[in-house]
Amino acid sequence: MTAIRGGLARVAAVVLPAAVLAVCLFSAGATAAQTGTDEGYKAPRTAWGHPDLEGRYTMETFTPLERPAHLAGKEFFTEEEAAELQVLLTAEGVDPLAGNVLALEDEERRQDRLYQDSDTHYDNSVWLRGNTPKGLSSRRTSLVVDPRDGRIPPRTREAERAAVDRREARRGREFESHLVRPLAERCIVWPHEGPPMVPPAYNDILQILQTPDHVVIAPELRTNKPRIIPLDAGPRISDRIRLFQGDPRAWWDGDTLVVESTNFSGKTLFRGAATEEMIVVERFTRVDADTIRYEFTVDDPRAWTSTWSVEIPMVRRDDEMFEYACHEGNYDVGNILLVNRNLERQAAAQEQ
């Protein structure tokens, strides 16, 4: 804990009152998140009798998806470690975009990653700074809960070969056309939109709406339509139809909403490996007045050597959602291609 304590010394003078409150709140909240349930809690019902999941929630967290190497074998932080980290991560001036900060064992590098050079940041006033600072989501050292080592299983040989083939196919052609630019850059699909859903770096609110026969999930940061999920066991779409968000079917397992999605497009390439055979099973369980336990399992035998599962607390957020118009003022793709056409002309002129 030396690195953590060193970081605390730098911020204690200015954040101590808030820090004490954060520690107290986190000690109780982290335990609930770790066990995944509030003993005796009964979720309220909708007018038609289903568990009520409606509301706006956030999955924002500094907890890494995969367990860092220096935390190998450590599934949970102690209460003291988690509380101290929570103080460090929620201090004034910490950059919410400082991703994978817990992967850094060195204190100096962690501090460099955590703090912005300037207090001026458009995301702080619009998308990043909510009423509650971004911190740990629980005492877990990773969001991956299965395998127990907190790591996504290795890719299959087929997936590794496919990744090499894709890199080779793009080598020297990265700026040839908009068609070879990444899907997120082209505002086609973001990798966190789901299914499965993973915490984005910003714009991290999502809204859940319910009707008697559908559940709608609308992430704030999205390039596709909201996820409209039917609550029925009707026939699947044709196997020839492939969608970026898959074909979902949902049902209630007691108080847990279960969503199974199939028929994914192989172009989605979730985590850089998923194929058309990917099946995602998501589970939404309201565990207290302000928290939904969100779990998902990924099964793709062509991409990974075994299934893997993630657990993320979704915490109620009263903030309003901003419209995310990905292509509004987005000149990046055109400018990227324009610059490279100019470079090609300059290179051709030099060869003459």
- Decide which of 112, 142, 172 is a domain's last residue: 142
The answer to whether residue 169 sits within a structural domain is yes
pTM of the predicted protein model: 0.84
The answer to whether residue 349 sits within a structural domain is no
The pair phi, psi for residue 2, each rounded to 5°, is -60, -45
Same domain membership, residue 190 and residue 130: no
pLDDT in tens, 122-163: 555 555 555 567 888 899 999 999 999 999 999 999 999 999
Percentage of the chain exceeding pLDDT 70: 84
Same domain membership, residue 193 and residue 84: no
- Decide which of 110, 142, 174 is a domain's last residue: 142
pLDDT at res. 127: 55
Same domain membership, residue 91 and residue 194: no
The answer to whether residue 30 sits within a structural domain is yes
Rounded CA separation 5/330 (Å) = 42
Same domain membership, residue 263 and residue 136: no
- Better-predicted residue by pLDDT, 223 or 312: 312
Q: How many domains does the chain fold into?
A: 2
The answer to whether residue 348 sits within a structural domain is no
Residue 2 in this model has a pLDDT that exceeds 60? no
pLDDT at res. 14: 37
Rounded CA separation 197/248 (Å) = 14
Over residues 203-216, the mean pLDDT reads: 94
Same domain membership, residue 163 and residue 138: no
CATH code, domain carrying 214:
2.40.128
- Decide which of 84, 117, 142 is a domain's last residue: 142
**Cβ neighbours, 10 Å, residue 232:** 11
How many residues can be counted in the chain?
352
pLDDT at res. 77: 94
Same domain membership, residue 273 and residue 230: yes
Task: Please calculate the CA angle 270-282-301 and round it to the nearest 5 degrees.
Answer: 50
Which distant-in-sequence residues (6+ apart) come within 8 Å of 301 by Cβ? Answer: 156, 277
Same domain membership, residue 174 and residue 108: no
Over residues 19-39, the mean pLDDT reads: 48
The pair phi, psi for residue 159, each rounded to 5°, is -65, -40
Same domain membership, residue 220 and residue 89: no
Residue 282 in this model has a pLDDT that exceeds 90? yes
43 falls in which pLDDT band (50, 70, 90)?
very high
Same domain membership, residue 186 and residue 109: no
Domain that holds residue 129: 2-35+62-142
pLDDT at res. 342: 93
Residue 230 in this model has a pLDDT that exceeds 50? yes
The answer to whether residue 43 sits within a structural domain is no
- Structure tokens of 72? 């190998």
